[in-house]
Chains A and B, each alone.
Chain A
Amino acid sequence: MAEYSFFSLLKNAWNGNRDWKPAWSKAEPKTDYDVIIVGGGGHGLATAYYLAKEHGITNVAVLEKGWLGSGNIGRNTTIVRSNYLLPESIRFYDFSVKLWEELAHDLNYNVMFSQRGILNLAHSPAQADDYIRRGNAMLHGGGDAEWLTPGEIAKKVPGVDLSKSARFPVVGGLLQPRAGTARHDAVAWGYARGADRRGVDIVENCEVTGFLREGDRVVGVKSTRGEIRAKKIAVAVAGSTGRVMKLAGIDALPIESHVLQAFVTESLKPFVDTVVTFGGGHLYMSQSDKGSLVFGGDLDGYNSYAQRGNLPVVEEVMSEMVALFPGLARVRLLRSWGGVMDMSMDGSPIITTGPLPGMYLNSGWCYGGFKATPASGWTFAWTIAKDAPHAINAPFTLERFHRGALIDEKGQGATPKLH
């Protein structure tokens, strides 16, 4: 019987819920592993899970400096989508959506993946052309995309200001029906439990403070819980990439750390049943199962490792929200917070062997690493197990920046503000 099922729920309800095991155990670090994963965010935990499940590598430790879910995996706006233009991105993110579709079954954990669709609103004929081109690329790559007229948008999202007098009138929208949202911390907990049950050690409150070297080779880590050796050391620390890689003597990377804020309102009755994005500025919004509107906008825009932002962005995001949904003007904001983003110079991630022998790097997730969690873990596990990338992540190297083989969705050139 699966650990979580209708029958196990009944049985435990009968027993006063005394027999549940903790979802993962608080492991003490051993002195030696086959693989150490630095960073217990979504990507680190998913990597550990797929290493165990797909490759039978279970002598693995995930070292997390805080508690599970304290990083961006617990701070994001939970949007899952694969509405990309370039073939490399479409292949990677569509693979991720396919893993999402089976994830709750695979993990035997309800990650509340809800394919409610994402609607990108366009506000000028040029933007509409651009979105339609992207929609065609998505269809061509085997994905799903639909173009909605303002009339169709009025039916789907009644709250949107579709009047001609809007500051940025809506001319249409690109819908990806298979996109949606998921419960972010359930994803961390589900992967943690799946990895734990397969023998992985999940070590919390264990900060990596240095790397053990034998010549060029990385052979272990120094941590706040002692020295730990391993044949392979994988780094998946998202916004902390710069800091952690400096410990290994890598002083420069095509990455900057920036702060991104998110916001939730008080709970409302069902108001919007899809993810909506505003193309006149930068805003994305959905409604959680509790009824809160969950939304965010642009980066604050300056380098930051502080997990908090400043007021100009708060003001800007609120004004965009009210421009798009005038009816929300008097809704109260409950909370806001910030997370540190690993912004790569072309807006695409890095999943690769190296840059030092014995090391593996997973980084550069920008605004969009939550949706990538399953595919990132799956391909990173493959890369670690086989010492070579899978075809799906082969384009996402570190050298691509120096070879001119960028994966630059917007064709915008080197800037750490893409996604």
Chain B
Amino acid sequence: MLITCPYCGPRDLAEFSYQGDANRPRPDQHDTDQARWNAYVYDRSNPAGPHREYWQHAGGCRKHLLIVRSTLTHAIESVAFAGAQGATPRPARRSPKSRTKTGPAKGKKP
């Protein structure tokens, strides 16, 4: 299995770590409804077919990814950065060279 990281390009499965099902909406942190939290923690839709799931490119750029992959064939449909805005897919980049400049966050002293 190869995963095409939008940042690093196609890389071997061994570089990635699986972070699980991305279909479960996390209840609001102020939500005190037990049934909703139980469902979030324990229940899975476990589909046979396309599955939205999180991976991390742990042995690469360390970005968290949102991937749609078939659980029947392991074929990958789409890869995108897992973003705060519900992970809008971004176009895949060819190589690390073409990345946009984002320097380290400034103004933070240890």
Contacts and interface: CB of A to CB of B under 8 A. Distances in A.
A64 interface: no
A254 B73 contact: no
Interface stretch (A9-17, A153-161, A299-307): A299-307
Contact of A303 (B13, B21, B35): B21
Contact of A312 (B14, B47, B71): B14
A300 B98 CA distance: 33
A302 B21 CA distance: 9
A252 B53 contact: no
Nearest to B47: A242
A255 interface: yes
Interface string A187-215: 00000000000000000000000000000
Interface residues of B, number: 26
B50 to A, nearest CB: 11
B74 interface: yes
Interface in A240-274: 241-243, 246, 251-257
B18 A414 contact: no
B48 A255 contact: no
Interface string A255-295: 11100000000000000000000000000000000000000
Interface centre among B14, B17, B48, B73 (most CB of A within 10 A): B48
Contacts of B47: 242, 246
Contacts of A303: 21, 46, 51, 53, 71
Interface of A: 241-243, 246, 251-257, 301-306, 310-312, 315, 345, 401-402, 414, 416
19 contacts: A242-B44, A242-B47, A251-B45, A252-B43, A256-B21, A256-B44, A256-B46, A301-B17, A302-B53, A302-B69, A305-B48, A305-B71, A306-B72, A306-B73, A311-B14, A312-B13, A312-B14, A345-B44, A402-B38
